[in-house]
Structure 1
């Protein structure tokens, strides 16, 4: 590095550099950029000017120029841990996760005590689904910098999503202790307690927010949500007003409120904004939107009558193990409602959206080609996969060994052929809802996004996904003698007892009055799907044929959905 002289008369770049640093620290980034560039005209090998120029450009939202400046700084002085951290952030933001990973690791190799790198690295690891490692690095960041609010909030959120609620609360509260005006912690605590059905705790958080951050967007949002839950829709709308914000949570709440207030045009506009903002999120951008459609296409073209007839014979049924029952369908078609109804029955255990079949598929992928290798599976291999399936389910917290085991996961519809290969005697409960309502509801809901649910951020992709899934399901129905009970959401909400009696009979258990109190079961059971707020309410019909209110907005996708509307016997 070419040093700058301490004597301004000998080195005219020195005062320019100091002034540029001062400008950067005071937020005058445009002046800072000009200043550092002037220094570099005089001293091109001054690494600190390149580093600071990179920081100033980053603050001015010029990531490519910032990267160039950082790279030039590293060419001069390659041992700058903070620069590698900054580059890691840029590449993470640009969805180049492999390069970001490399830079964060290099930063920590040079300086393992950089709290900011540990926090940024943890966020990347979270996006890579490496949650245990992410937790470790968040905790390291906090150990190095106990008042690091961003890391405290990040760790709290990670623990909450891992069902470690008490530990999550501890970190959110620690964050609020550091900064009583920390909006993120108030919102996270209120949302977590709402999820846990702890109304008193939500009210407590609201009171604290009203005291410490009165009039803030977060305080108004929590208050509006509480008003909505009390049925005070106009009051909730008034609270949120017309705030100009890019807060996805506020737009989502507004959308729900306008929907409940029979203002579909305004509601749809809000959900468009919600999904557009969600697509900008770094965690969402890290997901390849084309993976799931490609998977569905692969399954469709692999599962043919010619291929299936050449399968090796399955093993005989295991008399010691009852074949599972699967609740399938398309998301937002009533699968969570059926889950709660069946969970209320004393003889039934329902596994709620555990990623077990994905793990079984991963085991098959270890011996490619998959799924082509399904055709040549030997008896002992099928038995091993059956054992792995049940062992995985038993490993989850809350597993209960009851007479009937039900595996509820609407995304397993695409695995129908695989399920039949492993469990030829399996029963299938297929949850059906008007295609327009299912697609609209997915578009209007927020999910924990993955390769499948990322489709729902765009209406046309949602409709195409529905068509692909249903094509595959109908193909499975043609290829295999599946034991299926189809149940319509619209019928359940209008003829509860008749539909549930028929469902229980199919599953093989007698009627029990406990199923009438399914909403209480849902409050006891921590429902983790997008439907958790609805299934803890008494049965309602307001979502039945809701799509008709949004028909003009659905017009672009009606041609895609019309074949399934007719195939399933619904009215257009």
Structure 2
């Protein structure tokens, strides 16, 4: 009897050793079978009584096979039996992360850290858990600690890009992704990288990545959904629907995140095809169990709200937009705890523009044509206007870029800052600033040649003093629209700029910002003397040819009747990054005129009091 027990013990010990070796060699299935053999030899009702080590190997082997649901109870039993072992807590947290329960993983991962685990895997899991709990700053700290230990781990780098996206640091996120392009990533990580490119609105890069993935796996649902989304963002709806038709729904819906992405795609395509009731139902279904990514979840609220608007259910739309704003604001406060009520652009609203020399030609002999700036409050028709201007062969516009803001940032590094530094701006600085600006333009439009650049960025309205200091031959077009329509439209958008989460949180806060922006503009308008053509959106959509002739006469350019087809031309331009990308490719119409009237019940007294003077000044009515 004793000999038999001894033989069994030896057999179990040998099997356990073999299990450890298999696990170390990456043979998870072999490790699993050997660990189960150890437990079978012991024959105890409680596996932990038989062999804690065998349970550890079994749980890890299951986790390596992506069978986290089976591994989870084993890890839970291990932390109960040996709470002093940090690896048990870490493994439990990782299993929860793999099951999509990152938020629940934070306490056990914190226990692992408390008990001495300082591994890269722990910091990665902590980063995932922190982000899932709406804490992007600690998530960035954790993923950076993981990368300090394993600097080239592609999974860590991808997650760092995801965290930076959540923090609205899109340039840094793109740079992190760029560092991976030369790496031979596994297929699933390349899918993730392409999805991050999509979230960052780098649609051309994302499209190329998805197309390459589909060469290897033509039926991969995530890649097909991503490619279809790229086509939709490029306003290629037929292509988007053709790619969508290739998705195997059973395969897609077998994975929760992919199934949700498919439903979101279907909702967007339905909205684009004029079926808001279908879009609304799909968005509502997705939001029953919304995506874990707070940025994506918030965007769904706004998309749902717009579908409700199309159905004329403004009460439901108001609820969706309000919830979206609340989520966005909470996320921005977590990601930007030190954010002032205005960002660098809007901070100028509190600084008086000093008297300075305008029309200075020092440095203007650099061979560049000074730009035309299209400005106004957001959602005033600037994108539509830009498309009309870009259709003229003498002009070339580009997607909204922070070129002027970069110059302001440089100026703010000096003691005088902006706009104080405009008073004594040295000629060398003026030449340097111009050189940087036109270098940025050239990178954006390498085909510029002799054409005049059109820089459309609405709130550069408050940067016109800098324009007056650097570009003596610059002109501006000020786009106006009924102030109440502008306020409603801004409030309905999920802008990427973090400060706009505060600025446009409510109709009232949006009206306050509208009032501040135009009071600031009219304070300095006459002093800076930038030639400006004022164009009302309502007039443009009512008479494109008439307003177009007046606009191009101001610019010293001829009018051509073929310019009337500018919305068709816009379809071939590629991505339009502004929220109006779906509207500007449609024939010019008046559907957006007077939309604020449907929202009048939500305009309180202060909101209308703020807007009424501007309604009168710009020639509109509150009737």
Q: TM-score, normalised by structure 1?
A: 0.82
Q: Within 5 Å, which residues of 2 pair with 1:72-87?
A: 72-73=114-115, 75=116, 77-78=117-118, 80-87=119-126
What are the superposed Cα offsets for residues 192-238 of structure 1, whole Å, 9 maximum, x if unpaired? 10122333321212212365468855555444444444444556556
How do 1:275-424 and structure 2 match up within 5 A? 275-279=325-329, 286-287=335-336, 290-291=339-340, 293=342, 295=344, 298-304=347-353, 307-308=354-355, 314-316=360-362, 318=364, 320-371=367-418, 372-424=420-472
The structure-2 alpha-carbon separation of the partners of 1:338 and 1:204, relative to structure 1 and needing over 3 Å to count, comes to same
Partner of 2:110: 68
How do 1:56-455 residues align onto structure 2 when only pairs under 5 Å count? 59=101, 61-62=103-104, 65-66=107-108, 68-73=110-115, 75=116, 77-78=117-118, 80-92=119-131, 100-112=139-151, 114-126=153-165, 127=167, 128=169, 129-136=171-178, 138-139=180-181, 143-148=184-189, 151-157=192-198, 161=202, 163-164=204-205, 166-170=207-211, 173=214, 180-182=220-222, 185-209=223-247, 211-212=249-250, 218-233=261-276, 245=288, 246=290, 248=297, 251-279=301-329, 286-287=335-336, 290-291=339-340, 293=342, 295=344, 298-304=347-353, 307-308=354-355, 314-316=360-362, 318=364, 320-371=367-418, 372-452=420-500, 455=503
Give 1:326 deviation, angstroms. 0.8
Q: Work out whether residues 284 and 449 of structure 1, in 8 Å CA contact, stay in contact via their aligned partners in 2.
A: no
> CA separation of 1:458/1:32 partners in 2, compared to 1, >3 Å: closer, same or farther?
farther
1:445-468 CA distances to partner (integer Å, 9 max, x unpaired)?
234444446643554443333233
Using the alignment, how far apart are the partners of 1:451 and 1:69 within structure 2? Answer: 36
Selected match of 1:518 from 566, 573, 582: 566
- Report what 1:3 is aligned to: none
SS of match in other structure, 2:534: strand
Q: Give unpaired runs (5+ residues) of structure 1.
A: 1-5
Give how far 1:414 is off: 2.3
For the 8 Å contact 2:55–2:74, the answer to whether it is kept is: no
Gaps of 5+ in 2: 1-38, 254-258, 292-296
Q: Which moved more, 1:235-244 or 1:245-254?
A: 235-244
RMSD of aligned residue pairs (Cα, Å) = 3.9
TM-score by length of 2: 0.76
SS at match of 1:367: coil
> Distance between the aligned counterparts of 1:378 and 1:468, measured in 2?
30
Q: Sort the Cα spacing of 1:53 and 1:356 in 2 relative to 1 into closer, same or farther, 3 A.
A: same
Change (3 A) 1:480 1:345: same
Shift in alpha-carbon separation, 1:313–1:402, aligned structure 2, 3 A: closer
- Distance, in Å, in 2 between the alignment partners of 1:204 and 1:63 is 40
Check conservation: 1:349, 1:401, Cα contact below 8 A: no
- Cα gap change, 1:210 to 1:30, in 2 (>3 Å): closer
* Counterpart-to-counterpart distance in 2, 1:399 and 1:303: 38
Residues 1:139 and 1:85: Cα distance change in structure 2 (over 3 Å): farther
Residue 263 of structure 1: CA displacement? 2.6
1:482 counterpart (516, 519, 530) = 530
CA gap of 1:312–1:469, structure 2 versus 1, over 3 A, is closer
How far apart are 1:503 and its partner, in Å?
1.0
Match of 1:504 among 552, 572, 595: 552
Distance verdict in 2 for CA 1:147–1:380, change over 3 Å? closer
* Equivalent position SS for 1:164: helix
Distance in 2 separating the partners of 1:376 and 1:234: 59
Tell me how far 1:553 sits from its aligned partner. 2.3
Query: Please, which moves more after superposition, 538-547 or 147-156?
Result: 147-156
| Range with greater deviation from structure 2 (153-162 or 392-401) | 153-162
What is the CA distance between 1:27 and its match in structure 2? 6.7
User: Compared with structure 1, are the counterparts of its residues 113 and 265 closer, same or farther at alpha carbon in structure 2 (3 Å cutoff)?
Assistant: same
> How far does residue 370 in structure 1 lie from its aligned partner after superposition?
1.1
Structure 1 162/514 Cα, relative in aligned 2: closer, same or farther at 3 Å? same
